[in-house]
Structure 1
Amino acid sequence: MNRKHFLSALATIGISLPATQTLAAIGTTDTDAAKEPQIPPYLKPGDIIGITCPAGYINREEILPSLRIMEKWGFNIRIGNTVGMRDYSFGGTDAERAKDLQAMLNDPNVKAIMCGRGGYGSARILDHLDFTRFHRHPKWIIGFSDITALHCHVNRHYGIATIHSKMCNSFPDDFNNAEPVIQDTIMSIYQALTGKKMQYTAPPDANNRKGTARGILIGGNLSVIQSISGTNSEIDTNGKILFLEEVGEYLYNIDRMLNTLQRSHKLDNLAGLIIGGFNRLKPDDPGEEFGRTVYDMVQEKVKAFKYPVCYNFPTGHQKNNYALKCGMMHTLTVTDEKVLLKD
Structure 2
Amino acid sequence: MNRKHFLSSFIAAATVLPTFKTLANTVESESSSFKIPPYLKQGDTIGITSPAGYITLEQIQPAVLQMQSWGFAIKIGDTIGKRDFTYGGTDEERLTDFQKMLDDPNIKAIMCARGGYGFVRIIDRLDFSTFQKNPKWIIGFSDITVLHCHLAKNYGIASIHSKMCNSFPDDWSKAELVQIETILSIKNALIGERMGYTAPAHPNNRQGKADGILVGGNLSIIETLAGSDSDLTTKNKILFIEDTGEYLYSVDRMLWNLKRSGKLKNLKGLIIGGFKVKPDDAGEEFGKTIYDIVSEKVKEYNYPVAFDFPVGHQRNNFALKCGANHTLTVSETGSVLQSF
Is the TM value for this pair above 0.5?
Answer: yes
Partner SS, residue 41 of structure 2? coil
Is 2:298 the partner of 1:302? Answer: yes
The answer on 1:253 being equivalent to 2:250 is: yes
Deviations 1:220-249 (A, max 9, x none): 000111111110101110100000001010
1:320 equivalenced with 2:320 (yes/no): no
Paired amino acid for 1:307:
Y
* Map 1:30-109 → 2, pairs under 5 A: 30-33=26-29, 35-109=32-106
CA offset digits 1:20-54 (Å, max 9, x no partner): xxxxxxx9342234532111110011100000111
| Alignment partner of 2:195 out of 183, 198, 201 | 198
Q: Contact between 1:251 and 1:280, CA under 8 Å: does it hold in 2? A: yes
Of 130, 133, 138 in structure 1, the residue corresponding to residue 135 of structure 2 is: 138
Output aligned runs, 1:214-225, within 5 Å: 214-225=211-222
Deviation at 1:159, TM superposition (A): 1.2
Which 4+ stretches in 1 moved above 4 angstroms? none
Corresponding residue of 2:182: 185
Q: Please say if 1:230 is aligned against 2:227.
A: yes
Whole-angstrom distance in 1 between the partners of 2:110 and 2:32? 23
Structure 1 portions without partners, runs of 5+: 1-26
TM-score (norm 2): 0.91
Gaps of 5+ in 2: 1-22
Counterpart of 1:113, as a letter, is I
**What code does the residue aligned with 1:313 have?**
F
**Separation (CA, whole Å) in 2 of partners of 1:165 and 1:327:** 14
Question: Given that residues 35 and 158 in structure 1 are in contact (C-alpha distance below 8 angstroms), is that contact kept between their aligned partners in structure 2?
Answer: no
**Matched residue count:** 316
What letter is aligned with 1:300?
Answer: E
**Counterpart secondary structure, 2:267:** coil
Q: Contact 1:57/1:89 (CA < 8 Å) preserved in 2?
A: yes
Per-residue CA distance 1:264-312 (angstroms, 9 max, x = gap): 11101100000000010013x3211211111111111111110000100
For the residues of structure 1 that align with 2:238 and 2:258, how far apart are their CA atoms? Answer: 14
TM-score of the two chains, using structure 1 as the length reference: 0.91
Aligned to 1:120: 117
Residue in 2 that maps onto 1:170: 167
Once residues 310 and 271 of structure 2 are traced to their aligned partners in structure 1, the CA distance between those partners, rounded to angstroms, is 10
Contact 2:28 2:156 in 1 (8 A): no
Secondary structure of the residue that 2:122 maps to in structure 1? Answer: helix
CA RMSD of aligned residues (A): 1.0
Identity %: 59
